[in-house]
Structure 1
Amino acid sequence: MKIPKAIRGNLLLKMTSLNAGVIVVRLFVAFFLQRELTEIVGKAGYAKIGSLRNLLSQLSSFTSLGVFTGIVKYVSEYKEDKEQLQKLFSTTFVFTIVGSVIAFVVLFFGAEQLSTYYFYDTEYAYVLKLLAVIVPFISIQRVFNGVVNGLSKYKSFAKIELFAYLLSAGLTLFLLYKNELDGALIAIALAPVIQVVVLLYIFVRVLREYVQFSKLNFKIPFAKQLLAFTAMSFVSTLLLNQVEIEIRNFITNKVSETEAGIWTGMTTLSKNYMVFAAALFNLYVIPKFAGIYTKSDFTKEVLNIYKTLLPLFGVGMLVIYFARQLFIDYVFIDFDEMNPLFKWQLLGDFVRLASLVLAHQFLAKKMVLNFIFTELFSLALFYVLSYFLLPVYGVEGVVIAHFIRYVLYFLVVLLLVMRYFRKKKKKEEKLA
């Protein structure tokens, strides 16, 4: 079947159409997986699964010292310069060793204390020790994914994402049926191993072309450039997941672990459809913005992205909203309290999508202070609003906080991006 001309002529649409197929398959599998998880482990168990996923996200950043976005940026810029790439990957090699060793020590020797914090019980300390052993795979997966994204190999990325997810889902279902919650936790912890195996199987030839593994050394010539991305990643990934964990613990302590499971169900659904946008940001937006230097070109590209993505997401979110009871009946079994959460979560995610398109200018141009400020503003706002709205509106207050947070975040990001181009124009006028 021929690809329509309108899609063939638009790289973003080509990526969108290809990823749409992957996401549809992934969503169907995810919905079945969530159904089995919620039915077997219940709301309290699902809250624990949410905490483990937050921890894995934190480890994906920490074990590689947050270099993912830096790899995307510099691989897209230096893909024809093997010397610069070798410096980049040698620095990354050192960073991943440092991050992985620290993560191993903390997880393995602090397993019981961390188990109490994440799972409210020392019983799951073995999961933390298992993660400690797996941390090298977590860091490797993150680094190699950065290479895939930096090269904009969207077809390879789609294959890797789909096959890795299907294998991980299959393992989760197998262990869930065999050992219930314990089995699900083990399977989720093992997911990075599967992702690395699939990535190497599909992408190893391209990796060898760009990464000269035999010439990697313990030097860090790219440290200064990458440390800026380390700071940004630690704020956006470590703190974001930490805030989610704190809010889940807050719900557990102030209401119940059952209600924490309800909120986790809502955020899990959100993450399943937002992963589609995340893939496009890394594959298309960052490399594209990195090569744009004028306000007019930037505005044109942002409008192109909005024109392409926002209507698609808007329609998709309307479908989810009107089909929300079906999700509760057939995906999140007995999670009836999720119903009123949908409107606020979906509205917040729509504004979030529009905001993140603009915010990726900070990453593409390495605007560290702007990025850190907006992320801290967003996270602090979410935590404070949740703290005050939870006692008044229950769990619905947390998703109301999510919506308010992104409306204000969008306005702040927009003002900072406009200020960036104003300052750039004044600087150019002085030099002229």
Structure 2
Amino acid sequence: MKIPQFIRGNLLLKMTSLNAGVIGVRLVISFFIQRMLALMVGEAGIAKIGSLRNLMEILSAFASVGIFSGVVKYVAEYKDDKQQLQKLFSTTYVFTVLGTIGVSIILFFGASFLSTQIFDSAEYIYLIKLLAVMVPFICMYRVFSAVVNGLSLYKKLAGIDLISYVLSSILTVVLLLSNNIDGALIAIAITPALQFFVLLFIFLKVLREYLQFSKLSFKIPMAKGLLAFSLMSFFSTVLLNYVEIDIRVMIQNRITMADAGIWTAMTNISKNYMVFSSAIFTLYVLPKFAGIHSKTDFKAELFNIYKTLLPLFGVGMLLIYFLRDYVIQIIYPDFYGMEPLFKWQLLGDFVRLAAIVLGYQFLAKKMVRNFIFSEVLSLALFYGFSYYFAGIYGVEGVVMAHFLRYVVYFLVVFYLVFRYFRKKKNTVDNS
């Protein structure tokens, strides 16, 4: 099918339209999987799956030492400079080897403690030890996908995403039917290996072109630059997922396990449509902002992104809201407590989208202090608001906290980003 001219002439729309097809297929498959999970494992099982996914996000950040965004940025900047790329990949190699070994050892020998802390039971020691074996795959997939993102090879990335998602979904269904909740957890744990091999199959030729494996050295010439991203990743990924695990435990202890599952189900729906934006951020927004140095150009690009993405997301979120009863019946039958959560979750996600676009300027310009301050503030607000509102409104209070947290976050990020350009202008004027 021929792509309309107005889409072909706009790279962001072109990426968005291609991404929409992939996400559309993913959503259909996800709805089917989530329905099966809801019927077979119930709210308690959904809560456990949510905690496992949070743990895997934390492992991904620690094993790769949080350098995903740094690799994206530097590959985008140095893709025509093989010498700089080799320095980048050598540094990445050292970081990831050390990170992988450290995380695998902690998981294997701390399996009993981690199982009790995360799942409130020692019966999942085997799962933690399985993750210890999966850590190298989690790490390599994370790093190689950062290279794909940095090169803006969005068509290849869409293919990798779709194929690996289909394969992991088939695996989940097979193991769920044969081993119930344990099978589902095992399938999720070994998905990174599937993702890695799919990426390698599709992308190996291009990887060899940019990454000369034989010339990798155990040196860290770009350590300082990448460590800044490691620090930012710790606050954005590790703390975020830790807070989500803690809030899930809080709901379980202060309200009910069923409510913890209902909240997790609501966040699952949110993550399914928000994944639509995540690829756009790393493929388009981060490389674009990295190359913009004036306030005028930044405002023009920001307006272009907002006018392209926000209406699309706004319409999509309105459809989800008005069809929420059907969404619950189709995906999470019997999860009746979800209905009041939709308005706050959707409002929060819309504001979050606008804020995250702005916040990518922190990553693009390595504004470490601003990034850490805004992330810590956001997480602290979410944590505090959740505990306060949960005591008054129950599980609905947690999604109210989600909305309020992102309203404040957007205002703070807006101020910090434009203060950066103001300071930069004053520095130029005074020089």
Normalized against structure 2, the TM-score is what? 0.99
Q: Aligned ranges for residues 138-217 of structure 1 at < 5 Å?
A: 138-217=138-217
Q: Distance in 1 between matches of 2:41 and 2:388?
A: 30
Give the superposition deviation at 1:188.
0.1
Residue 110 of structure 1 is matched in structure 2 by 110
Deviations 1:40-67 (A, max 9, x none): 0110011000000000111111100000
Q: What is the letter of the counterpart of residue 301 of structure 1?
A: E
Q: What is the letter of the counterpart of residue 14 of structure 1?
A: K
Q: Distance in 2 between matches of 1:142 and 1:12?
A: 23
Give the match's secondary structure for 2:339: helix
Deviations 1:60-109 (A, max 9, x none): 11100000000000000000000100010011011111111111111101
Task: Please tell me whether residue 255 in structure 1 is matched to residue 255 in structure 2.
Answer: yes
Which segment drifts farther, 327-336 or 367-376? 327-336
Q: What is the letter of the counterpart of residue 329 of structure 2?
A: D
Deviations 1:265-295 (A, max 9, x none): 0001100100110100000000000000000
Give the superposition deviation at 1:330.
1.2
Deviations 1:368-424 (A, max 9, x none): 000000000000000000011001000000000000000000000000011001000
Q: Distance in 1 between matches of 2:14 and 2:27?
A: 20
Q: Distance in 1 between matches of 2:186 and 2:239?
A: 24
Give the superposition deviation at 1:327.
1.3
Give the superposition deviation at 1:333.
2.0
Q: What is the letter of the counterpart of residue 430 of structure 2?
A: K
Q: Distance in 2 between matches of 1:364 and 1:211?
A: 22
Q: Distance in 2 between matches of 1:147 and 1:334?
A: 43
Give the superposition deviation at 1:217.
1.4
Task: Please tell me whether residue 343 in structure 1 is matched to residue 346 in structure 2.
Answer: no
Residue 403 of structure 1 is matched in structure 2 by 403
Residue 37 of structure 1 is matched in structure 2 by 37
Q: Distance in 2 between matches of 1:290 and 1:269?
A: 31
Structure 1: state its 5+ residue gaps: none
Q: Distance in 2 between matches of 1:18 and 1:24?
A: 10
Deviations 1:141-177 (A, max 9, x none): 0000100000000000100010011101110011000
Q: What is the letter of the counterpart of residue 157 of structure 2?
A: F
Give the match's secondary structure for 1:220: coil
Q: Distance in 1 between matches of 2:339 and 2:120?
A: 27
Deviations 1:304-341 (A, max 9, x none): 00000000000000111111111111101211100000
Residue 266 of structure 1 is matched in structure 2 by 266
Q: Distance in 2 between matches of 1:120 and 1:35?
A: 25
Give the superposition deviation at 1:119.
1.0
Q: What is the letter of the counterpart of residue 3 of structure 2?
A: I
Q: What is the letter of the counterpart of residue 118 of structure 1?
A: I
Q: What is the letter of the counterpart of residue 319 of structure 1?
A: L
Q: Distance in 2 between matches of 1:157 and 1:8?
A: 18
Q: Aligned ranges for residues 1-400 of structure 1 at < 5 Å?
A: 1-400=1-400
Q: What is the letter of the counterpart of residue 379 of structure 2?
A: L
Q: Distance in 2 between matches of 1:125 and 1:148?
A: 34
Q: Distance in 1 between matches of 2:17 and 2:339?
A: 30
Q: Distance in 2 between matches of 1:256 and 1:112?
A: 24
Give the match's secondary structure for 1:326: helix
Give the match's secondary structure for 1:74: helix
Give the superposition deviation at 1:256.
1.5
Q: Distance in 2 between matches of 1:348 and 1:313?
A: 12
Q: Distance in 1 between matches of 2:334 and 2:179?
A: 21
Q: What is the letter of the counterpart of residue 385 of structure 2?
A: L
Q: Distance in 2 between matches of 1:269 and 1:102?
A: 33
Q: Distance in 1 between matches of 2:325 and 2:120?
A: 31
Identical-pair percentage: 65
Q: Distance in 2 between matches of 1:124 and 1:256?
A: 21
Q: What is the letter of the counterpart of residue 273 of structure 2?
A: Y
Q: Distance in 2 between matches of 1:270 and 1:103?
A: 29
Deviations 1:3-31 (A, max 9, x none): 11111111000000000000000000000
Q: What is the letter of the counterpart of residue 13 of structure 2?
A: L
Instruction: Provide runs of 4+ in structure 1 moved above 4 Å.
Output: none
Q: What is the letter of the counterpart of residue 86 of structure 1?
A: Q
Give the superposition deviation at 1:32.
0.4
Q: Distance in 2 between matches of 1:245 and 1:82?
A: 42
Q: Distance in 1 between matches of 2:116 and 2:255?
A: 18
Q: Distance in 2 between matches of 1:186 and 1:106?
A: 19
Q: What is the letter of the counterpart of residue 142 of structure 2?
A: R
Q: Distance in 1 between matches of 2:82 and 2:349?
A: 39
Normalized against structure 1, the TM-score is what? 0.99
Q: Distance in 2 between matches of 1:95 and 1:165?
A: 28
How many residues end up aligned between the 2 structures?
Answer: 431
Give the aligned CA root-mean-square deviation in angstroms: 0.5
Q: What is the letter of the counterpart of residue 197 of structure 2?
A: V
Q: What is the letter of the counterpart of residue 186 of structure 1?
A: I
Q: Distance in 2 between matches of 1:198 and 1:56?
A: 19
